Amino acid sequence: SEVAFAGLPSSPKDALSLFTLAMGRAGASLTAFELIARRPYDFTLKHGQGITRPLADDWPWYVLMQISSGRSEEDGKALIEEILSAGLEQGIVGDAVVSASLAQG
């Protein structure tokens, strides 16, 4: 299972575009996709304990995405990185990070 956190540059429409992209590439392996507004994200960073900022910059919207499949860990990571890379190229993702461990995800 691979988890990614992405900052979106403009609007929830970017999230819909990223969801469509992820479904097209991952299909049923896309097991979670959550849109998060900046205000609750900022609140969590301010008041949560032991929470670190996953991205260097602030974005108006964020997406938390999970890919789960019977593939190897390397294949799952390559797939989620492929989706994020395509999103960056299309301008629907501003920045993203893939979790390095289950504890981060």
Q: Domain locations in the chain?
A: 2-98
Q: Which of 16-20, 42-46, 74-78 has the highest mean pLDDT?
A: 16-20
pTM of the predicted model as reported, rounded to 2 decimal places = 0.89
Q: What integer pLDDT is reported at residue 102 of this predicted model? A: 52
Alpha-carbon span 101 to 35, nearest angstrom: 22
The pLDDT of 70-98, averaged and rounded, is 92
How much of the chain exceeds pLDDT 90, in percent? 79
> Would you place residue 87 in the very low, low, confident or very high pLDDT band (cuts 50, 70, 90)?
very high
Please check the confidence at residue 58 and state whether its pLDDT lies above 90: yes
Q: Which residue has the higher pLDDT, 70 or 86?
A: 86
* Fold annotation for 2-98: Alpha-Beta Plaits (3.30.70)
Q: What integer pLDDT is reported at residue 73 of this predicted model? A: 73
Question: Count of CB atoms within 10 A of residue 89's CB?
Answer: 9
Cβ neighbours for 88, distance < 8 A, ≥ 6 positions apart = 94, 96
Composition of the chain by helix, strand, coil, percent to 5: 45, 25, 30
